Amino acid sequence: MFRAYYRRHDPGIANSPAFGWDFVFRWPAPLWHGYMQNAGCPSIEELPVSAAAKPCPFCAPPADQILIEGEEVRVLWDTHPVSPGHVLVVPRRHVGSFFQATASEREEMLRLADEAHRILSEKHAPDGFNLGINDGPAAGQSVPHLHLHMIPRYGGDVPDPRGGVRWILPSRARYWSKP
């Protein structure tokens, strides 16, 4: 049922030991995928994203969530903002990873990020911004549709902002566990 074996060290494999043999324990794919789906994680087959189990919130957003519309990209107000003015720069095409986006989608994402920066600076007057992409479940991506977070930052919003995206507003980051 379960597979366990020893494998010779391979420097090309992440988490492989520096030398010697590596013990590998594998769950059968159906059991692992069932466990991960019950835990709310996308399955391996869903990455790259082709069809989500539930409707994608970025593919057909409500009109009041849209800040800017481009040909291939939209800027949306985040429905779980960690600060006033938090927006998402999202390709219209359902694509899971930044690395699967076309060159023109990436270019328009950056162009619209500039436009959003101008609008948010006028409307909210932040002191700085954090920009970030969570690419893949291991990186914290909870919606399997590429999106660039633009999070306005304000002087005093955290006692010590050093480290930026490493520690961005930890008390507000776990939106999924709040009622």
Q: Note the pLDDT tens digit of each residue in 93-114.
A: 999 999 999 999 999 999 999 9
Structure token pair of residue 167? 């520690």
Half-sphere exposure of 40 (CA within 13 A, CB side): 6
pLDDT at 27 over 50: no
The domains located in the chain, with CATH, are 3-41 (no CATH), 63-177 (3.30.428.10)
Catalytic (active-site) positions: 147
Strand order in the sheet with 66-69: 66-69, 73-77, 87-91, 148-153, 128-132
Peptide bond just before 48 cis, omega within 30 deg: yes
Q: Of the ranges 3-12, 94-103, 148-157, which one carries the lowest mean pLDDT score?
A: 3-12
φ and ψ of 151, to 5 deg? -115, 110
Q: pLDDT: is 75 or 10 the higher one? A: 75
pTM for this one?
0.66
